[in-house]
Structure 1
Amino acid sequence: MGPVSYDALLWLSFGGPEGPEDVRPFLENVTRGRGVPPERLDEVEQHYLHFGGVSPINRLNREAIAAVEPLVDLPVYFGNRNWHPMVEDTLAEMKAAGVRRALVFPTSAYGGYSACRQYDEDILRARAAVPGAPELVKLRQFFDHPLFIESFAESVRVAGEAFEDYRLVFTAHSVPVSADKAAGPPAEGGHRYSRQVAEASRLVASALSIAEYDVVWQSRSGPPQIPWLEPDIVDHVEALHAKGVANVVVCPIGFVSDHLEVVWDLDTEARDRAAELGMGFARAATPNGDPRFAQLVAELVAEMTSGAPARKLSSFTAAGCTVNGEPCAPLCCEPAKRPAR
């Protein structure tokens, strides 16, 4: 798609509770239709209540929007999938303001169902709920953008200054193995999500001249009988200890901000387990507060508004760009099939 005039940018994110009374209804929104047992919701609810029932994600998004808005010369609207401000309400606000065509920045760098196609579904749902809604064009995936890689490389370098020697471990949100297999066009063999995570990890490690590192997973939430991507970060910390590794630096390559799954799974569970084992532990920061992240978003916008060239460090397809929520390829990034009962 060549240069086109746009009236606004919609910042589309996951959402998070901003008080204890929000936690349970938020989690029910997140897990609706997924067959997650109530006891798992009880467990995750306690993670949020540990931090006063407030996820950092909405605050971090608002801070990022404030940094991006001066760079894109467009009004930036904020909408969420699972909690207020809900994207349907934001789209109604945009329509009332006279927005006719807007770009959409989803706060995920990767392919896969939750990371990409579900944002297409958010767009379809919101437009269906708002008659006469603006046209929405979703920006592409950015896991291999030079500024994304530079930001993570710098944060790993800073975290690693705590140790003379350490093992670098990249981590991203786990997904069902079946969902990962469906995370790319069948002609490409699927597995787009895990392959992109692996490629982003390779690029960061290469920028630091680190030859050996690990890619692991976190935040599993599904039924135990369904295989998910492994190993889990806490299990991996234990395995590294058994091999005699003294220090570990964890890089949350799958996340753009320090929201609750980062501060609980890594800064709490993984860090506490490392301390119990007598291991040094440091966690690299995510890009959200880095000025390079705002510049990255501005460059993605410029690709669509002025035909600026796409800056990429891999040969992977620059996938994910969609119009009005239509999937970028048939059968790509479909949700995992639930097992028959």
Structure 2
Amino acid sequence: MQTSTIGVLLMAYGGPGSLDDLPGYLADIRGGKPTSKAVLNEMIRNYTQIGGKSPLLDITTKQAEALQNELGDGYKVYIGMRHWSPWMEETVRDMIKDGIKKAIAIALAPHYSIMSVAKYQEKVRAGLEMFGGDIEFEFVNSYNSAPKYIQALAERVQDGLSRWDVSERDNVHVIFSAHSLPVRILKMGDPYQDQLFETARLIAASAGLPESQWSWSYQSAGRTPEPWLGPQLEEHIKALAEKGIKNIVSVPVGFVCDHVEILFDIDIKAQALARSLGIRLERPPALNLDPLYIGALADLVKERIPN
């Protein structure tokens, strides 16, 4: 029988709240390594084109509020960021002060990797150590096949296809994508790519897409010399153009809300490339506050709390 408040920690990557935040934000991502002026200026240009800041915090806050309403009494939902305010460690401090003894931690990234979700979890443990807490955290490692999450994305596919006349829809190609990571994770036995491919197959099946009508690509690879998982979205679009594809729906499955990897990398950069190749590219809305996605998060919490 539940007798005390259960904490729910939504963990996200973080993003700059203004252009002035960019130098510090990039420094944190790069582990304190200096950012070249050229890269900083490029990032300033990119963020300027999407409104001068990341919408991640605003949307994550609203997702947390929606989840709180879905869960109701007996739960308190918090948010913590890996690379910007509100810092994960400080959110853990707040949970300790609130007297939370048991908590469920969910990354707003459905696919597990030791280079992504595991890093979020390390921040939580660091917060407990830093502030002397004894909260019993249960981590949700992944939820790449959660039924409501899959259903929500299948509806995005149908939304995208519906933007063409019925007679044209069989000729529309769907690209699923997620953030690239270094290729070396494959040798480490990391489950990231396998989980992504499973998600794509489940969405395609739910949306009724034949194998010939969808494909996979990665996007937003980092700026390091080592090889990253591919094909990259831009190169994949070029390859599809060479095959005569003229209509594309982009459905990023690894991102659960709008931020720079969607608003710039897809809506501006990939869109410009598509236009230059004579391709019509459509992107349905990100999950954001979709009730199905919020319901998927609520299910993850409730599954871990005994009646």
Which TM-score applies when normalising by structure 2? 0.90
One-letter code aligned to 2:150: I
For 1:324, the equivalent position in structure 2 comes to: none
Structure 1 residue runs of 4+, over 3 Å off?
A: 2-6, 33-42
Counterpart residue number, 1:11: 10
Q: Are the structure 2 counterparts of residues 4 and 97 from structure 1 closer, same or farther at C-alpha, using a change threshold of 3 Å?
A: closer
Query: What is the count of residue pairs matched by the alignment?
Result: 298
* Cα shift readout 1:63-114 (whole Å, capped 9, x = no counterpart): 1111110222311111111111111221221222222222112111011123
Pair 1:5–1:180, CA change in 2 (3 A) = farther
Corresponding position of 1:321: none
| RCO comparison, higher one (Cα < 8 Å, 6+) | 1
The alpha-carbon deviation at position 43 of structure 1 amounts to: 2.7
Q: Given the superposition, is the C-alpha separation of residues 58 and 180 from structure 1 closer, same or farther in structure 2, using an over 3 Å criterion?
A: farther
The offset of 1:273, in angstroms, is: 0.8
RMSD: 2.1
How far apart are the structure 2 equivalents of 1:61 and 1:195? 26
Aligned equivalents of 1:45, 1:138: Cα separation in 2: 35
Matched, 1:242 2:242: yes
Residue of structure 2 equivalent to 1:288: 288
Aligned to 2:184: 178
1:37 to partner: Cα distance: 6.1
Aligned pairs (5 A) from 1:152-231? 152-163=153-164, 164=168, 165-182=171-188, 190-211=189-210, 212=212, 213-224=214-225, 226-231=226-231
Measured after TM superposition, the shift of residue 21 of structure 1 is 1.0
Distance (whole Å) between structure 2 residues aligned to residue 247 and residue 253 of structure 1: 19
Secondary structure of 2:303's aligned partner: helix
The C-alpha deviation readout for 1:290-321, integer Å capped at 9, x for no partner, is 101111111111111137xxxxxxxxxxxxxx
What letter corresponds to residue 221 of structure 1 in structure 2? G
Whole-Å Cα distance in 1 between the matches of residues 190 and 93 of structure 2?
Answer: 36
How far apart in 2 are the matches of 1:103 and 1:3?
14
CA shift in 2, pair 1:37/1:193, >3 Å = farther
Partner of 1:149: 150
Q: Indicate if the aligned counterparts of 2:92 and 2:124 stay in contact, CA closer than 8 A.
A: no
Secondary structure, in 3 states, of the residue corresponding to 2:115?
helix
CA separation in 2, counterparts of 1:56 and 1:167?
29
5 Å-filtered alignment, 1:275-314, equals: 275-306=275-306
What is the alpha-carbon distance in structure 1 between the residues aligned to residue 258 and residue 221 of structure 2?
A: 17
Matches for 1:13-92 after TM superposition, within 5 Å: 13-32=12-31, 39-73=38-72, 74-92=75-93
Q: Which residue of 1 aligns with 2:118?
A: 117
Q: Kindly, what percent of the aligned residue pairs are identical?
A: 29
Q: Distance in 1 between matches of 2:30 and 2:287?
A: 27
| Cα separation, partners in 2 of 1:45 and 1:127, compared to 1, 3 Å | farther
| In 2: Cα distance, 1:155 partner to 1:305 partner | 31
Mark the CA change 1:55 to 1:172 in structure 2 (over 3 Å): closer, same or farther: same
**Counterpart AA for 1:194:** Q
Report Cα offsets for 1:210-240 as digits up to 9, x if no partner.
122111010011323x111111111111111
- The answer for unaligned runs of 5 or more in structure 2 is none
Letter in 2 for 1:10: L
Whole-angstrom distance in 1 between the partners of 2:202 and 2:33? 34
Question: Is the 2:81–2:88 Cα contact (8 Å) retained in structure 1?
Answer: yes
**Aligned ranges for residues 254-273 of structure 1 at < 5 Å?**
254-273=254-273
